[in-house]
Structure 1
Amino acid sequence: MNLLNYFKVENLLVKVFETREEAGEEEAKDVAKIVNKLLLQKKEINIVFASAPSQNEFLDNLVKINLPWNRINAFHLDEYIGLPEDAPQRFSKYLYDKIFSKVHFKSVNYINGNAKDVYEECKRYENLLKKYPLDIACIGVGENGHIAFNEPSVANFNDKALVKIVELEEKSREQQVHDGCFSHIEEVPKYAITLTIPAIISAKYIFCIVPGKNKKEAIKNMLEGPIDTSCPASILRTHKNAILYLDKDSSSLLRRA
């Protein structure tokens, strides 16, 4: 394991690796340790997962670890509104393929982006999160610094809601094309349902992996700019139990790297 750097920015622990594969492997090991630690104290725990190519290496390694999955309730971080049920770009499909179909959770709780009433769907999912408070959040960071789909234009560090509908910024929609999820920006939905920043920050532990050169500006703003909604991910610097995993590419603009 080629750990290039290891430092803190306020409360946030940052681990920098040579490759995204090493970063994903390390995150999976760290998450597994905390899962086992929490399950010594509780009968079951609750974890929310992000859906993006940035999560591939982490999830590929996590499913190989022998954990008591049947004591874990799984949630997902955000979902597009209005994609066809069989669309391969649905975040629920990504998580099903990567992890939900590969291990046996106690429960898997999906956001329904095609609900007849998306506002009622937000309330339903919010009630689930209140019933099953998050122990662990496994997330990423967007090219514009968003976490989940809390875009700079709609991010609120003091949001009263746990789940809400958001309009996606053009940069986020372009990222989906860069990631190879869609062929053209016109195909990318304009609206999504997302967990809010307070919902994410409420998790006892946060693990955030952000590999790739297309994320280097977001990472610089996240770690070296102000803690501000102009870069929503900067709020992770205030969390007492958060770890950020970077590779050589995503950390390339950092002074400490």
Structure 2
Amino acid sequence: MKLHIFSDPKNLGQASGSLAAEHIKQAIQSKGQANIILATGTSQFETLNQLIQEKDIDWSKVVLFHLDEYIGLTITHPASFRKYLTERFIQLVPTLQAVNLINGEQDAQAECHRLNEIIRQHPIDVALVGIGENGHLAFNDPPANFETKNPYIVVQLDEACRKQQMGEGWFPSLEDVPQQAISMSIQHIMASKKIICSVPDFRKAEAVKNCLENEVSPWFPASILQKHADCSMFLDQHSAELLSPSFRKQAFNA
């Protein structure tokens, strides 16, 4: 894992978005197409802002998937990840070759089957992900399923995850946060050729420490990233604050 620590979320996002752009262009150059995964949430604001400003990406050769979506939430709901990606990315770049968004309003198992058939034909070149306050990767809350090979699965959201969504302002109360979601599985995220993980903010500091300094465990889902062959982790000074001095020495600081 390549660890980078930046002074603030904006610098973090500029670096992670620029790296994502380079990986996307490399995939297009080498095989004529790039298959990408985008994450959502407040942690991705600056990364996506940078990515849409990058030049010389032929978006007509990019196929888009995303990590997760609530079950039962309409696309017009403020917390909808389909709405998020449509407004913050899809409408702001030239026409993509294909967009494969998760529809949580339909039968969840049938939607997983539909998406699994598509994504199996599109090996992921670049995955943009984050880490939740409870250490989750996508919506794989602890203890995460490290074994399933199915690309998309139905998951239960734990209370810590749901409190985070409320705390970020996406829902007015905990009762309004759905209890289930469709999520990309841990194994399928790990099958991505390159992973870029962007994690700003002190409220993620404990999860960052747990996932980077502990042994790989389903109780710290994002700890699995330690095993990926090409993962770049982007932190700011706040999210990196609890890392041990010896661990911080491994990082590139900017």
The TM tier, using the shorter chain, reads: over 0.9
Does residue 111 (structure 1) correspond to residue 93 (structure 2)? The answer is no
Deviations along 1:38-68, one digit per CA (max 9) or x if unpaired, are 2111111100111111000000111011211
Superposed displacement of residue 84, structure 1: 2.6
Q: TM-score, normalised by structure 2?
A: 0.94
Structure 2 residue aligned with 1:198, among 174, 187, 198?
187
Deviations along 1:190-215, one digit per CA (max 9) or x if unpaired, are 10000000110010000000000100
Q: Which residue does the alignment assign to 2:223? A: 234
The residue correspondences of 1:76-87 to structure 2 (distance < 5 A) are: 76-87=66-77
How many corresponding residue pairs? 244
Deviations along 1:132-158, one digit per CA (max 9) or x if unpaired, are 1111110000001001001113x1222
Distance 1:202 1:178 in 2: 31
Does residue 61 (structure 1) correspond to residue 50 (structure 2)? The answer is yes
Q: Which residue does the alignment assign to 2:251? A: none
Question: 1:84–1:33: structure 2 CA closer, same or farther, 3 Å change rule?
Answer: closer
Q: Point out 4+ residue stretches in structure 1 off by more than 2 angstroms.
A: none
Judge which range, 78-87 or 203-212, deviates more: 78-87
Structure 2 residue aligned with 1:99, among 89, 95, 99?
89
- Amino acid corresponding to residue 56 of structure 1 in structure 2: F
Is the 8 Å Cα contact of residues 75 and 82 (structure 2) preserved in structure 1?
no
Superposed displacement of residue 85, structure 1: 3.4
Q: TM-score, normalised by structure 1?
A: 0.93
Q: Which residue does the alignment assign to 2:146? A: 157
SS at match of 2:120: helix
Distance 1:197 1:71 in 2: 26
Superposed displacement of residue 177, structure 1: 1.3
Deviations along 1:16-47, one digit per CA (max 9) or x if unpaired, are 00101100000011111111112111111100
Q: Which residue does the alignment assign to 1:4? A: none
Say what the alpha-carbon RMSD is for the aligned residues.
Answer: 0.9
The residue correspondences of 1:167-246 to structure 2 (distance < 5 A) are: 167-246=156-235
Over the matched positions of the two proteins, sequence identity in percent amounts to 38
